[in-house]
Amino acid sequence: METKFTYAESDPEQVEKLSKEINCHPIVASLLYSRGIQTLEAANFFLDPTFEQLKNPFSLMDMNKAVKRIHTAVSNKEKILIFGDFDADGVTATSLLDDFFTHIDADVTWYIPHRIKEGYSLHPPHIDTAVQMSIDLIITVDCGVSSIEAVKTALLEDIDVIITDHHEPGETLPQALAVINPKRSDCPSGLDYLAGVGVAFYLVMALRKYFRDKDVWKEIDEPSLLRYLDLFALGTIGDMVPLIGDNRVLCMTGLKQMRLGKRPGILSLAKACRIDHKQMDSDDISFKLVPRINAAGRISHGRICVSHLTSGNLYDAETTATLLDELNLKRQQIEKEIVLNIEHRISRDPSLLDHNLLILCDSRWNPSVLGIAASRLARKYVCPVILLSHSDELAIGSCRSINNINIHQALVENAHLLERFGGHTMAAGLALKKENFDQLKAGITAHLKKQYTEVDFLKTFTIDAKLNFEDITFDLAKAINRLRPFGMENPEPIFLCENLKVVSSYIIGNLHRKMILQSSICPSQYCVEALHFNIGDTKNLPEHYDNIVFKLKINKFKPNTVQIIIQDF
């Protein structure tokens, strides 16, 4: 498969100037410049941000309405229901609000729907449950912006609804008391990169200020916002939203909070993942903690995670963390079987990949893991993937995209074929009647053909810099760490180095190659440790590389040493 290499744009004079102004490594200055951080002020904000630079939570549309209604509810001991989603973003947002409302002694409870039995977001049957519970106010987190019928039902039952969400809104908003969603076209906040937990955090920021003005904190200790930032970081990094602006500021502090080990739920989860919580980074969150949290909603029930994250007892949290670890192993096996099944289909019928789209439906698949399977396949085959599982009349499933090809917009253009859908540019969920499958396939194919060219479907690597072998040092890795946490719109840098020889190597875990590399053109004793994960052929291993593309990391197991992670292309 052809790979398109591009090189990050740079201006040597401006990079040198920036490097001198902020006294940083020239490579770091180059990385900042290519990310659009090209002034001293912008660089200082990126490298050493402060809370004073955060946006005003009241700049979010409808925030004033929301905090006034919540203050009334708390003052009058009305019953409040936090209604969340079953993924990491939703359960951290639910936990965050529950933590805050519990602190102020509100009459609060929470609810996480079952992924398969109830589906995503708030629906009219949930309002029936709220009526039975005598709920006065519902606050949604990470969902609700498309729950038009549910909000209508709530109004008929005299239940107020406050929606906090970050998913793409439709043309019509629910008639809720407040709809706090930074993606609203009329929202002036500039916070459209927030995850669901981020919107929930900004609600807490606003409530803390409003409650201070109402003298609430004269009777109750005013909570520190720091106590919620571990949840903010966990949900934000887990939802793969842009790690820029306020997200970056708060995730940096949230990671520091996580390393303190104060929340039993996160501490026990780190232990179950066999990582040192004192060295936790965004990779640990993305690839270890979040999959275990999401496994609960996929294989069992997401409510397990809210109980886990709000637990004050380490022993109980460790018990639940073990359960989440087991559920994740089960999820991995189910996902592996689905991916293998699909790869066998493609090997028998390569035409399935025609038109730069893979769309399949099968009654045997567990719909809860289709999003992860779609992500894996989208990366491998470099095309949008839609996987559906059908039973009875409906087929439900997930979409994943590549290279900023907007799969959500593709669904919008085919909304007449769908029963429901929602999501983001790169990921979405959907449900449709089985008889509409062929029409949907044709409609998505036509949309992709109209909006994109073949170049948009090439596997793309952006090389941030070409390094000489002697540049691959611990000092450079340490300097690059100042750019963490990495994520959307602040990707981990990718480097290229030429002419390397393998001094020694061995296979670990049957699939991974660990090597010691040296330069083959500049004789030296200097060596670098390298890892190449999930190699396809463990028999024919190269002893020389004309070039390698890699990420540069500090070796966690060997202090003050560097390690490179080779990338496939």
CATH number at residue 161: 3.90.1640.30
Buried b (16+ CB within 10 A) or exposed e, 273-301: bebebeebbbbbbbebbbbbbbbbbbbbb
- Judged on CB neighbours under 10 Å (0-12, 13-18, 19+), 462 is middle
Q: Cβ of 175: how many Cβ atoms within 10 Å?
A: 12
- Judge if 445 and 494 occupy the same domain: no
Residue 38 lies in a domain: no
Q: Is the peptide bond before 242 cis (omega within 30 degrees of 0)?
A: no
Q: What is the CATH number of the domain that holds 531?
A: 2.40.50.460
Per DSSP, the residues of 392-445 read TTEEEEEEE-STT--HHHHHHTTGGG-SEEEE-SSEEEEEEEGGGHHHHHHHHH
Instruction: Count the domains in the chain.
Output: 3
- Judge if 540 and 465 occupy the same domain: yes
Residue 139 lies in a domain: yes
Confidence of residue 285 (pLDDT cuts 50, 70, 90): very high
Residue 287 lies in a domain: no
pLDDT at 76 over 90: yes
Confidence of residue 521 (pLDDT cuts 50, 70, 90): confident
- Judge if 452 and 471 occupy the same domain: no
Residue 526 lies in a domain: yes
- Judge if 110 and 177 occupy the same domain: yes
| Average pLDDT of span 350-367 | 96
Confidence of residue 124 (pLDDT cuts 50, 70, 90): very high
pLDDT for residue 1 = 60
- Judge if 501 and 469 occupy the same domain: yes
Which of 177, 210, 225 delimits the end of a domain? Answer: 225
Phi, psi angles (nearest 5°) of residue 166: -135, 5
- Judge if 451 and 477 occupy the same domain: no
Confidence of residue 423 (pLDDT cuts 50, 70, 90): confident
E runs forming strands in 17-102: 79-83
Confidence of residue 539 (pLDDT cuts 50, 70, 90): confident
| Average pLDDT of span 28-39 | 94
- Could you tell me the residue range of the domain that residue 145 belongs to? 57-225
Q: Please tell me which of 1-10, 44-53, 310-319, 385-394 the model is most confident about, judged by mean pLDDT.
A: 310-319
Confidence of residue 536 (pLDDT cuts 50, 70, 90): confident
pLDDT for residue 119 = 86
- Judge if 101 and 150 occupy the same domain: yes
Kind plus residue range of the DSSP H or E element containing 460: strand 459-463
Asked if 95 contacts 102 with a C-beta cutoff of 8 angstroms, the reply is no
- Judge if 212 and 355 occupy the same domain: no
Residue 315: how many CA atoms within 13 Å on its side-chain side? 0
CA 291/CA 289 separation, integer angstroms: 6
Residue 453 lies in a domain: yes
Phi, psi angles (nearest 5°) of residue 542: -65, 145
Asked if 110 contacts 81 with a C-beta cutoff of 8 angstroms, the reply is yes
Which of 177, 206, 225 delimits the end of a domain? Answer: 225
pTM score over 0.75:
yes
Asked if 511 contacts 534 with a C-beta cutoff of 8 angstroms, the reply is yes
Asked if 423 contacts 166 with a C-beta cutoff of 8 angstroms, the reply is no
- Judge if 495 and 442 occupy the same domain: no
Q: Per DSSP, what are the bridge partners of residue 547?
A: 498
Per DSSP, the residues of 480-534 read HGGGPSPBBTBPPP-EEEEEEEEEEEEEETTTEEEEEEEESSS--S--EEEEE-S
pLDDT at 194 over 80: yes
Reading the block at residue 108, the tokens are 């609060």
| Average pLDDT of span 357-363 | 97
Residue 372 lies in a domain: yes
- Judge if 503 and 451 occupy the same domain: no
Q: What is the CATH number of the domain that holds 405?
A: 3.10.310.30
pLDDT for residue 424 = 82
Average predicted confidence (pLDDT) for the chain? 94
The residue among 229, 232, 169, 242 whose CA lies nearest residue 198 is: 232
- Judge if 65 and 204 occupy the same domain: yes
- Judge if 521 and 395 occupy the same domain: no
CA 3/CA 14 separation, integer angstroms: 30
Residue 440 lies in a domain: yes
